[in-house]
């Protein structure tokens, strides 16, 4: 089944508003006319407005890197779905491994954030992935299974149709170590298998599963050639317009 490729850049805590605008300004002509892939950049909160304005009238969409589940209230330092929408974001990353590792994100809070995103019409990118220790201990399937059942608890099949999953082996993020295409495909197959069990085959076949972890222009084509790899969530290689554009072009072939 044909699933549209989606390539999203996670800028993490990089780029001020002028820097982010300059990056998108440089990216626009490099990806102009590409419609075989959804192209998304996810800047820090403070840079959203400027990037949305710069990306206006282009094929580049803008996402946030996190959201809080409440509509408003005493949650110092947090940002609501409505605030992201107001800034012009259309996507949101949820449960990135750095949030899980450094900020106490759990499958339960991923689930709460996911519900808030769906209620507001933001397109969620839900991240899952195992540590090196878990992979070496042959616990990858268990870990992913728990992340999927906890993170997606109570989600209906029609809601699942709007959700993107990003498989990011933690040992491959920012390390230069990429899962081999075969290893990544095996794990994507496992994830799709779990989605089939949870939501049925028709729906699961439509869900886009991105790979993330040291994806770059040089390895994008072979990763995306795998039947169950539908895109990429990109950190380092999304911080330069030329490398992000080259990666997108190689991904769609």
Interacting residues with ligand PEP (CB under 6 A)? 10, 168, 173-174, 212-215, 233-237
- Active-site residue (options: 68, 96, 105, 134): 96
Give every CB contact of residue 183 below 8 A, 6+ residues apart in sequence: none
Nearer to ligand PEP, 199 or 244 (CB): 244
Nearer to ligand PEP, 73 or 176 (CB): 176
End-to-end CA distance of the chain: 18
Q: How far apart are CA 55 and CA 49, in angstroms?
A: 10
Q: Which residue has the tokens 């990806």?
A: 31
* Distance of closest approach, residue 89 Cβ to ligand PEP, in angstroms: 17
Task: Dig out the tokens for 242 from the structure.
Answer: 């030329």
Task: Dig out the tokens for 179 from the structure.
Answer: 């899962």
* Distance of closest approach, residue 27 Cβ to ligand PEP, in angstroms: 16
**In the annotation, is 136 catalytic?**
no
- Active-site residue (options: 105, 130, 134, 168): 168
Nearer to ligand PEP, 54 or 214 (CB): 214
* Distance of closest approach, residue 215 Cβ to ligand PEP, in angstroms: 6
Q: Give residue number: closest CB to ligand PEP.
A: 235
Nearer to ligand PEP, 64 or 199 (CB): 64
On whether the CB atoms of residues 173 and 212 are closer than 8 A, the answer is yes
Could you give the 3-state DSSP secondary structure of residue 81?
helix
DSSP-based helix, strand, coil % in the chain, nearest 5: 50, 15, 35
On whether the CB atoms of residues 177 and 171 are closer than 8 A, the answer is yes
**In the annotation, is 138 catalytic?**
no
* Distance of closest approach, residue 37 Cβ to ligand PEP, in angstroms: 17
Specify the DSSP element, H or E, that contains 204: helix 201-204
Catalytic residues: 96, 168
């Amino acid at each position: 089944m044909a699933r549209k490729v989606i390539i999203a850049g996670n800028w993490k805590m990089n780029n001020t508003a002028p820097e982010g605008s300059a990056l998108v300004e440089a990216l626009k002509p490099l990806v102009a006319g590409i419609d075989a892939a959804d192209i998304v950049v996810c800047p820090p909160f403070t840079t959203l407005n400027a990037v949305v304005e710069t990306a206006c009238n282009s094929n580049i969409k803008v996402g946030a890197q996190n959201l809080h589940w409440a509509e408003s209230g005493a949650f110092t330092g947090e940002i609501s779905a409505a605030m992201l929408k107001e800034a012009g974001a259309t996507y949101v990353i949820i449960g990135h491994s750095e949030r899980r590792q450094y900020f106490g994100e759990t499958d339960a809070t991923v689930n709460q954030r996911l519900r808030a995103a769906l209620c507001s019409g933001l397109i969620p990118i839900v991240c899952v992935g195992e540590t090196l220790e878990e992979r070496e201990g042959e616990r990858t399937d268990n870990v992913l299974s728990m992340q999927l059942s906890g993170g997606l608890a109570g989600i209906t099949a029609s809601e699942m149709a709007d959700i993107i999953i990003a498989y990011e082996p933690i040992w491959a993020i920012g390390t230069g170590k990429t899962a081999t295409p075969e290893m990544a495909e095996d794990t994507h197959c496992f994830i799709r298998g779990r989605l089939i069990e949870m939501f049925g085959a028709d729906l699961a076949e439509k869900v886009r599963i991105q790979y993330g972890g040291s994806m770059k222009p040089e390895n994008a084509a072979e990763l995306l050639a795998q039947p169950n790899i539908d895109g990429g969530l990109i950190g380092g290689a999304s911080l330069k317009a030329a490398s992000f554009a080259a990666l997108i072009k190689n991904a769609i072939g």
